[in-house]
């Protein structure tokens, strides 16, 4: 694709953001779940843009996905996070690993935003050590019965389905005895909302599964083959969340630049001070670095390069750091106003922190990168 083709998508998504997202960003930050916005994204075929058109996507490449996520995050990181998960971690997962029934009956509804699916992996015992999960699925009388306790689940409070990772063998088997199920919400699911520091309005919740029934047709991938499904999902998700990082950094930078151009200090505009100029230059350079990493990781995924794996982790690690640093600088430039709830930079600062934790902490990224270096990748 030439850049002119990407510009067409950018024009559409920017108009969408200005019309539907920017005016609602504060309400979403206060906790309002933007289900109507998600549905409107689906109507544009931009909720899961990389899916083929017959499933409700736009047949776009991964860079288009990153650009859409980035533009959403410039206005509302909460909306961008929901979209990123619904697309890269759910829709793509079902498309590549789901059953024929899932693809025909559920996937188009996911892409349209008619149903919301939560990725239910983390547990009170196990965040970074996902292979130690305790949620269990047992085969009883021809059906699976799922019991367990998930934590920090984005979309969890409002989900219609859950992509649940459950243990289907002994705990000592760790990642070799995990299976992923696509479980429809019913009375067996209990959710409790969790108030979080940032990316509010994403329905983050504690989720409990109490004797939930599932069939073999609800398995995503294979029995005891869930670890590959999880890892592949997270690798793509880490690339997509790098786009969220770029969007957050850009949004904070734009707010700080506007403030510096208008704020008067000692009979001068704040932007006339060299220190302010240097800060803005550092922020801009960092954002361009983050863009390069995110876009390059997307490119490597699209060409099926073996270098994608390590680059997805590098992009996740570095863009998260950059987003936190750029938003911190934006708050500092705005001073007292930046510390108030009136400041959008303050919102971006809170939202940025999850990027160093969710979908793999900075520490996990460094661990994996080193392991891949040792393998010669």
- Alpha helices, DSSP H, located in the chain: 3-16, 25-29, 35-43, 62-75, 77-84, 92-97, 100-101, 107-112, 226-262, 274-302, 308-338, 344-353, 362-374
Report how far residue 261's alpha carbon sits from residue 323's, in angstroms, rounded to the nearest whole number: 22
Report how far residue 211's alpha carbon sits from residue 40's, in angstroms, rounded to the nearest whole number: 35
- Give the bridge partners for 269, in sequence order: 264
DSSP label of 376: T
CB within 8 A of 244, min separation 6: which ones? 69, 70, 73, 77, 80, 81, 84, 355
Report how far residue 152's alpha carbon sits from residue 131's, in angstroms, rounded to the nearest whole number: 17
* Dihedral-angle region of residue 171 (phi above 0 means left; psi in -120 to 50 means alpha; beta otherwise): alpha
- Give the bridge partners for 209, in sequence order: 148, 189
Report how far residue 80's alpha carbon sits from residue 35's, in angstroms, rounded to the nearest whole number: 12
* Helix %, strand %, coil % of the chain (to 5): 60, 15, 25
Q: How many CA atoms lie within 13 A of 101 on its CB side?
A: 7
Assess whether 359 carries a catalytic annotation: yes
**Which candidate in 105, 114, 359, 374 is catalytic?**
359
Report how far residue 230's alpha carbon sits from residue 333's, in angstroms, rounded to the nearest whole number: 40
Contact criterion met (CB below 8 Å) for 347 and 247: no
Report how far residue 40's alpha carbon sits from residue 206's, in angstroms, rounded to the nearest whole number: 27
Contact criterion met (CB below 8 Å) for 329 and 285: no
What residues are annotated to the active site?
Answer: 359
């Amino acid at each position: 694709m030439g850049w002119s083709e990407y510009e067409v998508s950018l024009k559409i998504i920017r108009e969408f953001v200005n019309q539907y997202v920017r005016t609602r960003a504060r309400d979403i930050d206060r906790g309002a779940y933007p289900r109507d916005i998600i549905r409107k994204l689906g109507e544009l075929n931009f909720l899961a843009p990389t899916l083929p058109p017959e499933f409700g996507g736009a047949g776009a490449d991964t860079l288009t996905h990153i650009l859409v996520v980035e533009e959403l995050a410039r206005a509302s990181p909460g909306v961008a996070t929901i979209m990123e998960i619904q697309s890269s971690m759910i829709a793509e997962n079902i498309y590549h690993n789901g059953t024929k029934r899932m693809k025909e009956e559920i996937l188009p509804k996911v892409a349209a935003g008619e149903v919301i699916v939560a990725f239910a992996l983390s547990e009170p015992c196990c965040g970074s050590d996902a292979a130690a999960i305790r949620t269990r699925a047992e085969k009883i009388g021809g059906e699976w019965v799922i019991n367990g306790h998930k934590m920090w689940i984005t979309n969890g409070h409002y989900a219609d389905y859950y992509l649940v990772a459950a243990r289907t063998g002994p705990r000592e088997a760790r990642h070799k005895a995990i299976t992923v199920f696509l479980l429809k919400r019913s009375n067996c699911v209990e959710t409790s909302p969790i108030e979080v520091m940032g990316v509010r309005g994403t329905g983050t919740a504690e989720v409990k599964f109490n004797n939930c029934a599932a069939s073999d047709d609800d398995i995503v991938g294979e029995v005891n083959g869930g670890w590959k499904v999880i890892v592949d999902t997270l690798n793509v998700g880490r690339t997509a969340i790098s786009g969220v990082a770029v969007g957050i950094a850009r949004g904070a930078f734009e707010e700080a630049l506007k403030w510096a151009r208008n704020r008067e200090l000692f009979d001068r505009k704040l932007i006339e001070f060299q220190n302010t100029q240097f800060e803005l230059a550092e922020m801009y350079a960092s954002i361009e670095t983050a863009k390069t990493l995110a876009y390059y990781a997307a490119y490597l995924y699209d060409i099926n390069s073996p270098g994608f794996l390590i680059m997805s982790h590098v992009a996740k690690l570095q863009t998260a750091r950059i987003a936190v640093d750029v938003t911190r600088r934006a708050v500092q430039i705005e001073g007292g106003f930046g510390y108030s709830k009136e400041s959008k930079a303050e919102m971006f600062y809170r939202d940025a922190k999850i990027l160093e934790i969710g979908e793999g902490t900075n520490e996990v990224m460094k661990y994996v990168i080193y392991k891949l270096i040792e393998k010669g990748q």
